[in-house]
Each structure stands twice: as structure tokens, then as C-alpha cells.
Amino acid sequence: MNKKYTTQMNAAKKGIITNEMLEVARKENINIDELIEKMKRGVIVIPCNKNHASISPEGIGSGLRTKINVNLGISKDSSDFEKEIRKVKKAIEMEAEAIMDLSSFGKTREFRKELVDISSAMIGTVPIYDLVGYYDKDLKDITAKEFLNVVEEHGKNGVDFITIHAGLNKETIKVFKRNKRLNNIVSRGGSLTYLWMQINNKENPYYEYFDELLDICVKYDITLSLGDACRPGSVNDATDASQIKELMVLGELTLRAWEKDVQVIVEGPGHMAIDEIESNMLLEKKLCHGAPFYVLGPIVTDVAPGYDHITSAIGGAIAASKGADFLCYVTPAEHLRLPNEEDMIEGIIAVKIAAHAGDIGKKIKNAKEWDYKMSVARQNLDWETMFSLSIYEEKARRYRKESKPEIEDTCTMCGKMCSMRNMNKIMKGEEVDIL
């Protein structure tokens, strides 16, 4: 890293144009001065650890394409290292902009290092998942200093952004206890933090030592993803006192991070009814000063296990159109099991659809151009172009191949009754033969 700046945000404040900024400006087709101005204000971030050599930088935030994240990693019940690496390679092939390593068991360090080495995508982690395995002792026996030591290790390994549940402080817990929920704390990292705090009767280490945490972020240029421990785990708990109290704390922490030139993403819901999504996007942007918003879903109904890639894509599209900047994928396996490769593929496709639909809704530059080209190809019955423009070309080609029509330029749904085919002929003054 250039010694004249410490983080991408610090460079922006100094008016220094980094290679990462140039790459993001090129990808997004935006003016570099506009990019720098928004980075200075924290409304755009470029997560890029100085130790992640293989990264292809991406920007997240105001006026940019909505980015997607894919969760992967090894666990005690599914610790096949190589299987997860194969999934990683497939996710990168499918152009996921970010991969979060949620590993919690086994060779977590080895997996994380290989992931960083091979990944052109941004890499995120949740350091608290790694605590027990890293120290090989019960959570209750881990010290506050050891919480930070694991963050430092992830920084050394080249992780670009980390989820830290620093908003779950003692004050937030008081609000949580006074306001009963149907599903309590459903965030894994949030529940582990809550457990440690209750057992040890101490403040959240990430909150108490937030300045020390920021120093680590500056050292490696880690983007801080402020986790939502109190995100709703059912539509019944959405937009309740606990969620909003934590969001207010995250807004305060965002300002503290920006004072030290640490880039910030704020994480959000969760499960939420459709009619609450727009107001939640407004609340986050207002309370967290325009920081990029990273949402899981939102999942808009609780009754569709096996199809939660659909429930989340519905919510994600609405959220993105109303200001969310970063969508975490959800697979058909959500709430049921660790996703396999096919689950992952379905989840990626669903979230990519949601992100693009959201970009059209918030009028991101050139977003509709992709759809325009597809519409032209459909009107021209240009199947090869349709395939090449498809969000997942492999499936589109397979469906066409599995059901061949009698008339080559139609499909087996309509055959000679194809509206595109017949209207093209009529408009050209040609005879139309439907029989």
C-alpha cells in the first residue's frame, strides 16, 4: 500500500487516486471525482485488504450497481474442505462480487488463506465464529483481548471486510429484555456475543474496545461490516425496539469509524413484511448517515422452507430498489441444512435477479440497457443472443435443448402461434401460416 495513505477512505480524503478507485470507476462507468467525493463521505466503500493480492476491486454504495454476497465455509457437520473450495470457484465463475467465509470448525485458517489466495471476489468473515476453534476452549473462557486477536489474524490473512456485532452493547440488551420477541436473537454471531456477555457479566468486547478494533482495521484496510445482532428472525419481530435501538448504536459507531478513516457497511434485516421494507431502508440511511446498507433478504414470509431463495429475492429486489447497496444471498437450503453446490447456484441466480431488478428500480446507470438488448433479441428471435444475455446461460441453453420445436425460430410453448414470429411477419407484410 502507498505509504501516503492508510485506507481507501483516507486516500479519498487526501485526494489520492488509488488503483482500486480507478478500477471501480471503470467498472461502474462513473467519474473518478464523483467516486472520491462519495468515498470521503463514507457512502461508497471499496473493501480491499492490502494483503489480498488476487482481488478485483468492487465498489459498494450510492449510485453503484447492487452487489451480491455468497456465504460459504466449513462446519463441524460438514467439514469437507475441498467441496467448499469447489463451491467457491463456482461462485467466482458466476461473478459473485463477494464471498463470506462462515467457517466455524476444523482447518478454518487454512481454508481462509486458500480462499483469499484464489479469490478475485471480496472476502468477508465473522471473526467470532472462529474464536472457539482458534483457541480450543469454551466461549466463556475467552478474553476480550482474544476477541481482538482473532480479528488481527483475519486481517493478516487478507480478509477485506469483517462482520462485527458491536451494536449489541449493555444498553441494547436492556431494550431487548424489556421488549419480548417471538424469536429472540437469531443472528449466530449476535447470540454468541450475547452468551459471552451474560455468562461473564461484561460489556461487549467489540463495543468496549472499539477504538482498538478500528486500529486493526486501519492497519490492514479492513472494511467494517457492522452486524445486526438484533435483526428480526420472523416477520412478527420486524422493526421492533431491539432492532431500532441497535441500529441507532450502529449509527454512532459509524461516525467513530469514519473519524479514523475506516470504511463501514451496515448490516440489516432479516425477516420482514413487504410493506415495511421501504421504511427500513430509509431508517438505516438516516440513522447511519448514508453508509452502504447490506441486507439478508429481507425474507418476506416465514412459511416457505425450501424456497427461501425466492422469499428473499422478492424482498431483496424491493430493498435494492429503495436504497440497499449489497445483498446477501439466501439458498433453498436456508433454515434446513448447509447448502450444496446446486443450492448455492440457485441462491446466486435468485439474488442476482433481485440485485438487477433493484438497479432498474433505482435507475442505476445503464441498468436497463441489458434488458433492452434482451428485448431486441427476443423480437428478432435471436436465440444465441438471448442465451448470451441470460443471467444464467447454462440453464437457458439446457431448457431449449431439452424441448426442440418443430419450427426452429419458435419454442415448444407456442410453436407457430408465437407472437414474436407472427407479428414480425405481419409487420413485414408476409403471409402468416399458423396451421
pTM for this one? 0.95
Look at residue 412 and give its three-state secondary structure. Answer: coil
Q: Is 231 annotated as a binding residue?
A: yes
Residue 32 lies in a domain: no
Residue 35 lies in a domain: no
Q: Where residue 143 sits, what CATH number does that domain have?
A: 3.20.20.540
The cell numbers describing 13, all together, are: 480524503
Angle, CA 414 vertex, CA 413 and CA 417 arms, to 5°: 180
Residue 409 lies in a domain: yes
| pLDDT tens readout for residues 280-291 | 999 999 999 999
Q: Is 129 annotated as a binding residue?
A: yes
Same domain (yes/no): 341, 414: no
Same domain (yes/no): 385, 302: no
Same domain (yes/no): 315, 409: no
Residue 300 lies in a domain: yes
Q: Is 71 annotated as a binding residue?
A: yes
Those residues whose C-beta lies under 8 Å from the C-beta of residue 391, and which sit 6 or more positions away, are 349, 352, 353, 356
Range of the domain at 210: 52-361
Asked if residues 222 and 45 have their Cβ atoms less than 8 Å apart, the reply is: no
Residue 291 lies in a domain: yes
Given 305, 329, 361, the domain boundary residue is 361
Total number of domains in the chain: 2
Same domain (yes/no): 285, 388: no
Q: Is 124 annotated as a binding residue?
A: no
Given 317, 338, 361, the domain boundary residue is 361
Q: Is 59 annotated as a binding residue?
A: no
Asked if residues 274 and 315 have their Cβ atoms less than 8 Å apart, the reply is: yes
Q: Is 209 annotated as a binding residue?
A: no
Same domain (yes/no): 303, 411: no
Given 328, 361, 394, the domain boundary residue is 361
Contacts 24+ apart (CB under 8 A), 195-202: 195/139, 195/140, 196/139, 196/140, 196/142, 197/168, 197/170, 197/173, 199/139, 199/140, 200/140, 202/144
Q: Is 418 annotated as a binding residue?
A: yes
Q: Is 100 annotated as a binding residue?
A: yes
Q: Is 398 annotated as a binding residue?
A: no
| pLDDT tens readout for residues 211-239 | 999 999 999 999 999 999 999 999 999 99
Per-residue pLDDT of the chain (435 residues; tens, 9 = 90+): 456 999 999 999 999 999 999 999 999 999 999 999 999 999 999 999 999 999 999 999 999 999 999 999 887 777 778 889 999 999 999 999 999 999 887 788 899 999 999 999 999 999 999 998 889 889 999 999 999 999 999 999 999 999 999 999 999 999 999 999 999 999 999 999 999 999 999 999 999 999 999 999 999 999 999 999 999 999 999 999 999 999 999 999 999 999 999 999 999 999 999 999 999 999 999 999 999 999 999 999 999 999 999 999 999 999 999 999 999 999 999 999 989 999 999 999 999 999 999 999 999 999 999 999 999 999 999 999 999 999 999 999 999 999 999 888 899 999 999 999 999 999 999 999 887
Q: Is 294 annotated as a binding residue?
A: yes
Please state, in angstroms and rounded to a whole number, the distance separating the CA atoms of residues 147 and 156: 15
Ranges assigned E (strand) in 175-322: 223-226, 264-268, 293-296
Same domain (yes/no): 272, 417: no
Same domain (yes/no): 354, 373: no
Please state, in angstroms and rounded to a whole number, the distance separating the CA atoms of residues 107 and 84: 12
Same domain (yes/no): 94, 176: yes
